Amino acid sequence: MGLDLGAHLVRLGIVSSTSDYASVVSINLFVALLCACIVIGHLLEENRWMNESITALIIGLCAGVVILLTTKGKSSHILVFSEDLFFTYLLPPIIFNAGFQVKKKQFFRNFMTIMLFGAVGTLISFAIISFGAVEVFKKMDIGGLELGDFLAIGAIFSATDSVCTLQVLNQDETPLLYSLVFGEGVVNDATSVVLFNAIQNFDLVHIDAGVGLKFVGNFFYLFVSSTLLGACTGLLSAYIIKKLYFGRHSTDREVALMMLMAYLSYMLAELLDLSGILTVFFCGIVMSHYTWHNVTESSRITTKHAFATLSFIAEVFLFVYVGMDALDIEKWRFVSDTPGKSIGVSAILLGLVLVGRAAFVFPLSFLSNLAKKSSSEKIVFKQQVVIWWAGLMRGAVSIALAYNKFTSSGHTQLLGNAIMITSTITVVLFSTMVFGMLTKPLINLLLPPSSRITESFTSDVGTPKLSSPLLENVPGFEPEAEGQGRDIIRPSSLQMFLRKPSRTVHYYWRKFDDGFMRPVFGGRGFVPFVPGSPTEQSVHVRDSIEEMGK
């Protein structure tokens, strides 16, 4: 997503002052729209039907209508779409902030289920959507689409909108659902992009077992390599800041280094043909666990709000533009002779998305439950319905992939390609508006507030917890999410005090983390000490409070 080429030429002084004035007007209008989205979104914050994404979409649609009327049908947007700029500049801050803010304990406790949904589930959805597209669209005669196009359609519509998930689910109210749906969304986006790129590169004419094995091996290589690259970049930033301790001289250097190292991880992944989404997500997780604790308190406050602000602006930017681009008259002109066919394609794609997601959410939830011993850790049917519904939304990733496949520089002259572009826009608008608006009411219906409170207490372990300072030094004990320690649930028997801590994976990780990782890379309890620094006097208390929200 980015400015038209004319805007860049203006900066270089190549084009005339008339174009300069037009570009300045366009930028002013778009910035004004972003401000309007923020203000109106704030006013509608408590509305059970609306969220920031839907508000931005509606404002984008309204702005598109106004631009259409003022330009007499020539254009509906003031910026020009570019999937390269979308993946390069707008997606990284959104995914990084999600990893930086995610509650790590909840995420890694459900890591296998998240991977099951995000990787295996995406492959199942991809297969169903691709097969359905081949069987149905060939009979509809919508243009000269080939096998590679149908497989690309499967990858495009398997990509859930993890940005919308941030808007419709609350990390504190429904921690388990948020962890599962959002974590799945990040892995899902990465899997869809890997699938899409693989389809572009593999020889689809001669498909055999060798090609299938090569694809599976390529996927696991990309996942492991991308994850390790993100973790290594985060650890490197932590080590540099811990050893050099920039905060003694300049908070600005600390903040700048964290931002640049985070972005470097994403660009390195793209340079090495890895998954930048996975890399920057895990870089955010590692930075929040180590690097963030090594900087001064002012740097912590600055980075936390800076990352959140960049992510928020990118999200609003995306949805405003999607709303405006949906009314682009050029895209609809090619399908104006066959509007019924375009609507039919959109309806079929929506149906395939519904079926494809249901085909893996419920069976994989059943398999996941078989592996869980405690009933409180299992995903009940009502939660499965919410997971299925919340993951139906399609967003900017789908649009970017569709533009990459079916257009050249945002334009197309082929009927089949034009139908796929307009159908993608229709599915994105419908799924975001309808499914997004109904998600909050559905959660309130299936999971009333009382059950959410119970979930927040029992989602971590299957037994009641006692939040007490006396337990803070017990190995394996970790404070729970912020606000959960206010109401103490008393133990049902004295066995709770006498029971030895279970030797879980988390317990051994904490032991390794405290014994090796934190002394080397810093983190909570291992921050640099500067005599006389007011920041360090209460650092352990503040770190413990901040860790409660992780």
Integer CA distances (angstroms), 216 to 120, 354, 361, 456, in order: 11, 25, 21, 37
Integer CA distances (angstroms), 228 to 215, 234, 237, 240, 276, in order: 20, 10, 14, 18, 12
User: Among residues 320, 432, 327, 329, which one has the least CA distance to residue 65?
Assistant: 327
Residues in the chain: 550
CA distance linking residue 439 with residue 421, whole number of Å:
26
The pLDDT, as a whole number, for residue 411 is 60
**Other C-beta atoms within 10 Å of 303: how many?**
22
Only one residue has tokens 């190995």, namely 475
Residues whose CB falls within 8 Å of the CB of residue 408, separated by 6 or more in sequence, listed in order: none
CA distance linking residue 521 with residue 516, whole number of Å:
9
Only one residue has tokens 């593999």, namely 202
Coil, strand or helix: which one is 80? strand
Element of type H or E holding 376: none
CA distance linking residue 110 with residue 24, whole number of Å:
48
Query: Would you say domain 83-446 falls under CATH 3.40.50.11540?
Result: no
Instruction: List, for the chain, all residue ranges whose pLDDT scores fall below the cut of 50.
Output: 1-17, 454, 456-502, 531-541
The pLDDT, as a whole number, for residue 263 is 95
Number of helical H runs and strand E runs in the chain: 28, 0
Residue ranges of alpha helices (H) inside 371-504 are 381-390, 396-406, 415-430, 436-446, 449-458, 495-498
Q: What is the DSSP letter of 121?
A: I
CA distance linking residue 340 with residue 545, whole number of Å:
57
CA distance linking residue 537 with residue 83, whole number of Å:
48
DSSP 172-205: TTSHHHHHHHHHHHHHHHHHHHHHHHHHHHS-SS
User: Among residues 16, 219, 9, 17, which one has the least CA distance to residue 120?
Assistant: 219
Residue ranges of alpha helices (H) inside 102-250 are 104-109, 111-115, 122-140, 147-156, 162-168, 175-201, 209-244
Q: Which two tokens stand for residue 30?
A: 């778009």
Only one residue has tokens 């490197």, namely 236
Rg of the Cα atoms in the chain:
25
Query: Which sequence spans correspond to the domains of the chain?
Result: 15-71, 83-446
CB–CB of 109/506 below 8 Å? yes
CA distance linking residue 516 with residue 345, whole number of Å:
56
CA distance linking residue 279 with residue 285, whole number of Å:
10
CB–CB of 76/67 below 8 Å? yes
pLDDT tens string 247-292 = 566 788 888 999 999 999 999 998 988 888 889 989 999 999 999 9
CB–CB of 360/398 below 8 Å? no
Q: What is the DSSP letter of 272?
A: T
**Other C-beta atoms within 10 Å of 532: how many?**
6
CA end-to-end span of the chain: 32
Packing angle of the helix pair 17-43, 297-325 (nearest 10 deg)? 110
pLDDT tens string 43-65 = 877 776 677 778 888 888 888 88
- Is the Cα torsion angle 207, 208, 214, 216 positive or negative in sign? positive
- At residue 486, what is the residue type? R
Only one residue has tokens 């020889």, namely 203
Integer CA distances (angstroms), 461 to 102, 105, 297, 344, 547, in order: 19, 11, 32, 47, 18
CB–CB of 392/357 below 8 Å? yes
- At residue 184, what is the residue type? E
DSSP 380-397: -HHHHHHHHHHT----HH
CA distance linking residue 527 with residue 245, whole number of Å:
10
Only one residue has tokens 């029971």, namely 499
CA distance linking residue 510 with residue 440, whole number of Å:
36
Coil, strand or helix: which one is 102? coil
Only one residue has tokens 């899409």, namely 196
DSSP 499-541: SPPP--HHHHHHHHIIIIIHHHH--TT-----TT-HHHHTHHH
